[in-house]
Structure 1
Amino acid sequence: MVPLEIERKFLVREGWSIPEGSTRVVIRQAYLTDAESNIEVRLRAKDDAFLMTVKAPRSDGGPSVNVRQEVEFPVPQTVFDQLWELAPDRLDKERWTVALDAAGTTASVDVYTGVLAGLRVVEIEFDDVEQARDFIVPDWFGEDVTGRAEWGNRQLSRGVPPVVDPVAGTTSAPPAVRD
């Protein structure tokens, strides 16, 4: 049976800062499938680890929970480097693991660098869909962007961020995306 990734994704509210005690990992990732493909094939370098991930969507999460089948495995750095050269869409970010409660629940806060500098997104992974739906959203979480393609890393890797309206606190798809 293929493992599942069950997650929700939010913007991070302006003014919030990463708390002391949070841990950081530097991530480079690239996509070998285009943004319109149903299957996602991703390369990721996390510090000194080199990984390939294949994701396929499932419909059992509904609009409020993103559920995907996910297979991830290590690849040798030489293979990673060769595939990296074939991947046109890339991004760089720092991922901070932030404690949410005393029970050990954590969130992953992605702080993008490069052409996406300034974007901050928080993701929470869950054991099941019910837990994801029942999640009580902390006050430092902003707009819920779960399942919105323009906030997916594959789309962001194309270098065109969504349009953020700071007054309304909402986002919309980016203007024309490059081919």
Structure 2
Amino acid sequence: MIEIERKFLVSSEAFKTEATSSKQIVQGFLNTDKERTVRVRISGDKGILTVKGKSTEDGLSRFEWETTLDKAEAEALLQICEPGVINKTRYEIPMGNHLFEVDEFHDENEGLIVAEVELNVVDEDFLKPSWLGEEVTGKVEYYNSHLSKSPYKTWK
């Protein structure tokens, strides 16, 4: 239940040619407290409810718990979420022993593309694709919960 993840900006759209799948995701937040976030997500015909704890100081790991919902349940929960829904396309790109999830944001976060890779241990080595840009692990402004309140298009 502990998620270890590193997050990067993406420097080009070359990742799209390496993607093995893509899907649309709509998500909202029932709670965005810095101690815990509660997210509702819809992708295809299923929903997911996720609870995430506070990140470690370096931003690399935090508690995460998920359960699946049917789409109707998730749609109902989205109606009571805090303002600021996230809409994005997620691409999956296998790279060595890891899977990169690249999120291309839409609507108020248009122009932002972020890649994440989950690790088994904090100092695990992984192959870095050529399109990987600056590391933003632990930078709160790139958390989806923050983007829902302070969209990328409003950044100076």
Normalising by structure 1, what TM-score? 0.77
Deviations 1:101-146 (A, max 9, x none): 3xx4220010111121221100000112121xx3453332111100
1:109 corresponds to 2:94: no
Deviations 1:53-98 (A, max 9, x none): 0010253xx52x5201111001233332221111122111110001
User: Does the CA-based 8 Å contact 1:6-1:129 persist in structure 2?
Assistant: yes
The residue that corresponds to 2:17 in the other structure is 19
User: Does the CA-based 8 Å contact 2:110-2:152 persist in structure 1?
Assistant: no
The residue that corresponds to 1:74 in the other structure is 68
User: Does the CA-based 8 Å contact 1:44-1:50 persist in structure 2?
Assistant: yes
1:90 corresponds to 2:85: yes
1:125 corresponds to 2:123: no
- Across the aligned residues of Structure 1 and Structure 2, the Cα RMSD in angstroms comes to 2.1
User: Does the CA-based 8 Å contact 1:41-1:53 persist in structure 2?
Assistant: yes
The residue that corresponds to 1:161 in the other structure is 152
Distance in 1 of aligned mates of 2:88 and 2:13:
19
Identity of counterpart residues, as a percentage?
A: 30
User: Does the CA-based 8 Å contact 2:31-2:38 persist in structure 1?
Assistant: yes
1:53 corresponds to 2:50: yes
The residue that corresponds to 1:169 in the other structure is none
Matched residues, number: 155
Q: Which has the larger radius of gyration?
A: 1
The residue that corresponds to 1:8 in the other structure is 6
Q: Which has the higher strand share?
A: 2
User: Does the CA-based 8 Å contact 1:98-1:106 persist in structure 2?
Assistant: yes
User: Does the CA-based 8 Å contact 1:151-1:162 persist in structure 2?
Assistant: no
Which sections of structure 2, spanning at least 5 residues, go unmatched? none
Distance in 1 of aligned mates of 2:92 and 2:140:
23
Q: Which has the higher contact order (CA 8 A, sep 6+)?
A: 2
